[in-house]
Amino acid sequence: MQLNALQFRRMYFEEFCAAALSVCQLEAHDCWEKRARCAYEMFEKDGNRAILIEELASELALSPSLPFHAVLQEWIRPSDGKLTFPGFVKLLRGQSTRAAAKTP
């Protein structure tokens, strides 16, 4: 994953802390799932646009030879094209799509 420079914007301390923490560190706490759910709901608010499978595949730098529809279909709700909570958690964990393709 590549991070873009902040350019003309300052990063707040809370943003820095959130970027510096790893998901593995957060998962060690009892309230991790609640925090992940709250973060997911922030992205899920009305007005956020749907995520197309093709866009997600591009962001994950999937190879065109990989059948990304099969890999990512469980990550995106077919009803509205938005990321599912399990898909969001997989992205937080940095789960590779190769690993996702191997899991049933």
Containing structural domain, residue 66: 23-102
Is residue 9, in this structure, part of any structural domain at all?
no
Question: How many domains is the chain built from?
Answer: 1
**59 inside domain:** yes
12 occurs within a structural domain: no
Amino acid present at 96: S
- Contact between residue 62 and residue 68 where contact means Cβ atoms under 8 Å apart: yes
pTM: 0.55
The answer to whether residue 72 is domain-embedded is yes
- Does residue 8 sit within a domain? no
- Is residue 87's pLDDT more than 80? yes
Residue 38 lies in a domain: yes
Each residue's pLDDT tens digit, 73-85 = 778 888 887 788 8
Residue 39 covered by a domain: yes
Could you please report the per-residue DSSP string of 8-74? T-PPPHHHHHHHHS-HHHHHTSTTHHHHHHHHHHHHHSTTPPPPPHHHHHHHTT--TTS-HHHHHTT
In a domain, 75, yes or no: yes
Residue 9 neighbours by CB distance under 10 Å: 8
> Per-residue pLDDT tens for 33-75?
888 888 777 766 765 667 777 777 777 777 777 777 777 877 8
Length of the chain as a residue count: 104
Pairwise pLDDT comparison (14 vs 103), residue with the higher score: 14
- Return the amino acid letter for 94: G
